[in-house]
Structure formats: C-alpha cells, structure tokens
Structure 1
Amino acid sequence: MAEKACRPNAGAAALNFFRGRRARSRLPGQQDFGAPRRTYKLAATKCRTFTGGIAVQVVLLKDVPSLGKAGEVVSVAEGYARNYLIPRKLAEPVSPGKLEELQRVRQQREKKQAEMQRRAEKVAAALKDRTIPVRVKAGEGGRLFGAVTAKDIAGALQRECGIAIDKKQVALPVPLKEIGTYPVTVRLAPGVSVTLQVAVLPE
C-alpha cells in the first residue's frame, strides 16, 4: 500500500505565513525584539569589526579588563557598546565636548605627574648616600630584641629628614635582625628611587 503524502501542519503553516508578513513589513535591517528598547546615539568609525559589524568609539567611565582604563577612548563593536558597556555605565558615546573635557583632564594629570616627578628627583638627590640611624634594643652579639621593618625605616626617614613615605615604598625583602649598616632602596615615584644606608644601632 502506498504511503500517504505527509502534509504540513495547518497551524504551523499559518504561523509561518504570519511571520513572513511581519518580516516583510519591517524596514531592511530592522529587528523585532517586542517592546521598544532604549537607544543610544553612537558615532560610527570607518572601520569594521572582524565580524563585519560597525565599530564605534566610546570613552570608558571605569576600568574594563582587556579593553582599557577609565578616561580612554576605545573602538568597540556597536552591539557591545549599545547592549553592554553603556547600559552598565562602563562607557559613554564620544562627543566633541567629551573629548575636550578628556583633553583638559589629561593635561592636568600630566602636569601633576610632572610636578611629583620633579619633587621625587629632588628628594632622591638629597637622600643619596645618606645614612639613616635606627635605634633598637639589642642583646649580646648584636642580636636584636625584634627586627627593623620597612615601617621602622619609613618612621626614621620622617624623624631624621622630615620626608613622609609609605612603608610599601621601602624595598626591604627581609627585616633586619642584627646591628649593622645596610643599603636600602626607597621608591619615591615611578622611575625614581634612591639607595640609602640604614644604620641599625643599639639604644
């Protein structure tokens, strides 16, 4: 007996017909996501992403791993900017006013960094080859009742030279546990460090 030809389900055919009419009623490139969504005005660049989409420029409001730091202008896929970065307030669209503001902030930051660099170099010149005494309790044989730490050296610099630094700026691999003089490096600023002598003396 010959098998009957399989006919398409009437309900499925009607649904496909309705979808086809709705798809034809949309403009080219328009997508149907149901309820209207908030839109953002993005300035497209002339380049395209590796997937063929349009790349846009945004300014980062916060640090984004593998993308950039706050204040940087980066190019990303339009969908990534519209659907992820901007709604989460990680970035905002680039505008002429925003670019001018970023330029002013960048210039102020560079000026401040240059001033800090000059001060650090001046302090480094003053501390070079200088000996900083640190007095501690010690027993026989020069063994200390404790140890001299980075915090102790930072405090000695404050007392002896009036220079306030954080203990993290003192490069001290291990605490000093005996009487003697030790070379210690102090990091004053990025790219600026000085090696001074720390004299551990008994009280």
Structure 2
Amino acid sequence: MSSLTRPLFQARQQPFLILQRGLRKNVKVPVTLVKDVPGLGASGTVVHVHKAHMRHNLFPKRLAEYVISRKGPLDRKAMLEAEAEEKDRSLSKKQIDVEQDVHSLALRNQDIISRIAKLEPLVFERSAVVTESGGEENTKQAIYGSLSKADVIRELADKHEIIIDKDALSMDDKIKSVGEYTCIAKLIYAGSASFKCIVVPASTIAATEQQN
C-alpha cells in the first residue's frame, strides 16, 4: 500500500473500528447474584450485565459470580435446595444410627442389670491379720491388702461373664477388713442392681473345702 493511499484507507476504517469498540463495550455476560442487588435482582438469580460492570463492581464486591458454562440454565436456588435436602438425609441417617445404638445399649445394659440382681454373694478370700496373742481379731478383722473395684469387676467377668467398667460400680474404694459389703451396679438406660461381696479369712475357705 502506497503512502498516498494509506491515509485514505485508514479514514475508511475509522468508523468501523469505532463501531467495533462500541459493540465490544456493550457485550453482556451472564452472572449469578449472590446478594440482592437493587436494579438487577434478588440473590440466586441469573442476570446479564456488562463485562466492565461485572469486572470492576459486582465481582470485586462479591455481589455476583460468573456463570460457569454448562448445559441448561444455572438455578442457584435449586442447587441450594438440593444441598439442603442431602444434608437433611445425612442427618436423618445419623439420627437413625444413634437411635439404633441407644436401643442396643439399653437392651444390653438391661440384661446385665437383670443378671446382677440374681447373683449369689461374691466370696473373696484374704489373709487375715493375726494379733500378737496369736489369734485373729474377733471383730472387723483386718486383712492383708484390700478388696478393690478392680477385684470385683474381674470376678464378675471371670466367673459370671458380666462386663462393666469402674464408673458403673459403686462400693467402698478399698475394703480392708473381713465382712459383708453391698455393691451397686448402675448402668445407663437400665437402672441399678445391688449384690453382696463377702470377704472371709483364707482359713475359712480352706476349712470349708476340707469339710466338703
């Protein structure tokens, strides 16, 4: 193109370029409003706005989001409702699971309490403290060591297949003398039941076994 014809060509192109720029500025894009925007619409609706308005105003202020290209219109309200329904279904399933667990625990604990209520006294052999005169004390004989919750829980498990934890058993922390003691087992959803623990001198059990 010669230097003489170039200005003429540019002059002819100028109106076209101006029109093209004008059309480009007027291009609108679909966006989803995330908040109520006066003059545009309510939160969740899809509207078409100028690119510049979205780029410089709506998007920086977090008033709208760009619509991701997809098949069919984007219905934000429907999406939120679907998410809420899924959350409700998840919570309902968890609630059902919890209720089933509670029911199973209640049945188990009720069975344990029923068995404890029918127990014969648990007998524990302990060596009695001997007095200086050589005889055993006549009243509240002291024993070597003690009878603890752990001993009672172990006896229930080993001899009767009854499993409870320390928090469920109420008794003197450490029994340190011969005698009969009341213990109470208390389980959630099942109430409580009492049973006897008897501490006897070792010689008593030995003599009984010899007689038998």
Corresponding residue of 1:182: 181
1:199 and 1:97, CA in 2 relative to 1: closer, same or farther beyond 3 A? same
Structure 1: unaligned runs, 5 residues or longer: 1-26, 29-34, 38-93
- Which residue is equivalent to 1:135? 125
Distance 2:86 2:99 in 1: 20
Partner of 1:95: 84
Question: What TM-score does the superposition give when structure 1 sets the normalisation length?
Answer: 0.50
What is the DSSP-based 3-state SS (H/G/I as helix, E as strand, rest coil) of the residue aligned with 1:176? strand
Which residue of the partner structure matches residue 104 of structure 1? Answer: 93
Shift of 1:36: 7.1
**SS at 1:95 equivalent:** helix
| Aligned residue identity for 1:185 | I
The answer on whether the counterparts of 2:179 and 2:199 sit within 8 Å (CA) in structure 1 is yes
* RMSD of aligned alpha carbons: 2.8
SS in 1 for 2:163: coil
1:137 Cα deviation after fit:
2.5
CA deviations 1:76-104 (Å, max 9, x no partner) are: xxxxxxxxxxxxxxxxxx82111111111
Check the 8 A contact 2:184/2:195 in 1, yes or no.
yes
Measure the CA separation in 2 of the matches of 1:134 and 1:188: 24
Structure 1 residues 161-200: Cα deviation after superposition (integer angstroms, max 9, x where no partner)? 1112212221124321111111110123344221111112
In the alignment, the residues of structure 1 paired with residue 92 and residue 167 of structure 2 have an alpha-carbon distance, to the nearest angstrom, of 32
Q: What is the number of equivalent residue pairs in this alignment? A: 118
2-side partners of 1:182 and 1:173: how far apart?
A: 8
Q: Note the 1:62-101 alignment, pairs <5 A.
A: 95-101=84-90
Instruction: Say if 1:134 and 1:156, in contact at 8 Å, map to a contact too.
Output: no
Residue 146 of structure 2 aligns to a residue in which SS? strand
Check whether the contact 2:153–2:164 (CA below 8 A) recurs between aligned residues. Answer: yes
CA distance in 2, matches of 1:36, 1:134: 77
Q: Which residue of 2 aligns with 1:167?
A: 166
Letter in structure 2 aligned against 1:186: A
> Is the counterpart of residue 118 in structure 1 residue 107 in structure 2?
yes
* Aligned 8 A contact 2:171 2:182 in 1: no
Counterpart of 1:196 in 2: which secondary structure?
strand
Go from structure 1 to structure 2 and tell me whether the alpha carbon gap of 1:36 and 1:154 turns closer, same or farther (over 3 Å shift): farther
**Is the contact made by 1:138 and 1:144 (CA closer than 8 Å) also made in structure 2?**
yes
Which residue does 1:197 correspond to in 2? Answer: 196
Structure 2 unmatched runs, 5+: 1-36, 39-59, 63-82, 130-135, 203-212
Contact 2:125 2:200 in 1 (8 A): yes
Superposed CA deviations along residues 98-131 of structure 1, whole A, max 9, x for unmatched, are: 1111111111221121122112112212221521
Identity of aligned residues (%): 19
User: Residues 18-68 of structure 1: CA distance to partner in whole angstroms, max 9, x if unpaired?
Assistant: xxxxxxxxx67xxxxxx878xxxxxxxxxxxxxxxxxxxxxxxxxxxxxxx
Q: Which residue of 1 aligns with 2:7?
A: none
Partner of 2:144: 145
The one of the two structures with greater contact order (alpha-carbon pairs below 8 A, sep at least 6) is 2
- Structure 2 partner of 1:79: none
1:102–1:137 Cα change, 3 Å: farther
User: Is the contact made by 1:185 and 1:193 (CA closer than 8 Å) also made in structure 2?
Assistant: yes
Higher helix content, 1 or 2: 2
CA radius of gyration, larger in: 2
